[in-house]
Amino acid sequence: MEDPKKVAFYTLGCKLNFSETSTIARSFKDEGFARVDFSEAADIYVINTCSVTDNADKRFKTIVKQAQKANENAFVIAVGCYAQLKPEELAAVDGVDLVLGATEKFKITNYLNDLTKNDMGEVHSCEIEEADFYVGSYSFGDRTRAFLKVQDGCDYKCTYCTIPLARGISRSDSLENVLENAKKISEKGIKEIVLTGVNIGDYGKGEFGNKKHEHTFLDLVKGLDTVEGIERLRISSIEPNLLKNETIDFVAQSKTFVPHFHIPLQSGSNEVLKAMRRRYMKELYVDRVTKIKEVMPNACIGVDVIVGFPGETDEYFIDTYNFLNELDISYLHVFTYSERENTPAAEMDAVVPLKVRKKRSKMLRGLSAKKRRAFYETQLGKTKTVLFEGENKEGYIHGFTENYVKVKTPWDPALVNTLHQVELQEIGEDGIVRFSYVEEKAVV
């Protein structure tokens, strides 16, 4: 009997991509392939691409070279958002054999009849209007947590974003299916599930993108809260206008949902928000943060913000800086605006020079470090539950409290994927919190 063919995967971009890579990998396993690490020699390399930042485009070529180095005769496949947006561009990259768009990537094994190297990548890419069906997926990023996809696509038309072009209309998994996948994850002994999607607050639109909401995001949250065996559920990113009071109140008293929210803001200037075509003003954002802190004083709140959007004057940027400085939030994810083809923002005047974008980005990263430290300081002396992760990082094991405070302690393999009650004691020079055990290493 001949050895099974080997396949390796590389994922760029978001948690959603990671969950989809896992699903694609399982389809290879069902066809008898053996999965190996990307650094090893494989017969097929699958690269799941991202289109959100400039950097992701450039990194693609580097990753193809990595695959060729491991096996110059390997069959290289590109899937994902960038593969949908610019299939010809990826197909032209030296070494790429096959490019699959948004609907084709989940039928990847149907395209593997002939693994002969091509001079030019072959493209199978649908019109994005055809991406109207839903494929559920979940991933095991490590043994500790899993990313569970509940929704795909987006109906919002933010002027800077290519995601609706890359992923199509907003559509959701059925509640029944999501709960089924959550059960499968819990049976694997994974302690934490992170909900993921393109616009998860929009959950409920049918799998074909029809506008009838059979279930709401609140129904989803309530349903998941009843799944046995999951210790923690975390909402990843949710739009401020879709995060309702009922959801916040439910999370506050939930057994498993943790007090951690990640809410995109993008700008603290209403003028810039209008130019971005966001669906709220900054006043609504303040209202969401105030509500969360009212019912969960120790909640961690992360914020996405874009700097250097066309028309962002010094004054508008300072508005954003001051707005964030005064807001009771815990950390920032800062994105430097980069032009994207086929988006209205790419055609806008008043372009902010790159040098200015970088300077603003640096200022907000500094503010993020200050905010994170201030949040950690409010948690010192408190008793929290830590879930330890699986990696030995320079002799230490790291973990996160339910409200996303990062801690570390000397490496001990017995701690991996276990929960412990600890008292947070001090912030180390590296910005990570040290603790003492409340009970002698008894697992919760």
Residue count of the chain? 444
Tens-place pLDDT, residues 235-269: 989 999 999 999 999 999 998 999 999 999 999 99
What pTM does this model have?
Answer: 0.81
Q: Tell whether the model's pLDDT for residue 127 goes beyond 80.
A: no
Give 444's pLDDT tier (boundaries 50, 70, 90). Answer: very low
SS3 of the chain: CCCCCEEEEEECCCHHHHHHHHHHHHHHHHCCCEECCCCCCCCEEEEEECCCCHHHHHHHHHHHHHHHHHCCCCEEEEEEHHHHHCHHHHHCCCCCCEEECCCHHHHHHHHCCCCCCCCCCEEECCCHHHCCCCCCCEEECCCCEEEEECEECCCCCCCCCCHHHHHCCCEECCHHHHHHHHHHHHHCCCCEEEEECCCHHHECECCCCCCCECCCHHHHHHHHCCCCCCCEEEECECCHHHCCHHHHHHHHHCCCECCEEEEEEECCCHHHHHHHCCCCCHHHHHHHHHHHHHHCCCCEEEEEEEECCCCCCHHHHHHHHHHHHHCCCCEEEEEECCCCCCCHHHHCCCCCCHHHHHHHHHHHHHHHHHHHHHHHHHHCCCEEEEEECCCCECCEEEEEECCCCEEEEECCHHHCCCEEEEEEEEECCCCCEEEEECCCCCEC
User: Quick check: 343 and 276 in contact, CB under 8 A?
Assistant: no
Residues near 245 by Cβ (< 8 Å), separated by ≥ 6?
A: 291
More confident residue, 121 or 153: 153
- State pLDDT tens for residues 96-105: 999 998 878 8
Answer yes or no: is pLDDT of 128 > 70. no
Q: Is the pLDDT of residue 207 over 70?
A: no
Digit-coded pLDDT (tens) for 311-355: 999 999 999 999 999 999 999 999 999 888 889 999 999 999 999
Strands 419-427 and 383-388: antiparallel
Provide the pairing of β-strand 419-427 with 396-401.
unpaired
* Range scoring the smallest mean pLDDT among 170-174, 277-281, 347-351, 423-427: 170-174
Q: What is the pLDDT of residues 209-235, one digit of tens each?
A: 676 778 999 999 999 999 999 999 999
pLDDT of residue 280: 96
Report pLDDT for 391: 85
pLDDT tens, position by position, 22-50? 889 988 998 889 999 999 999 999 999 98
CA-based nearest residue to 326, from 303, 356, 349, 354: 303
Q: Is the pLDDT of residue 141 over 60?
A: no
| Amino acid in the structure at residue 221 | V
User: Which band of pLDDT confidence, cut at 50, 70 and 90, is reported for residue 129?
Assistant: low
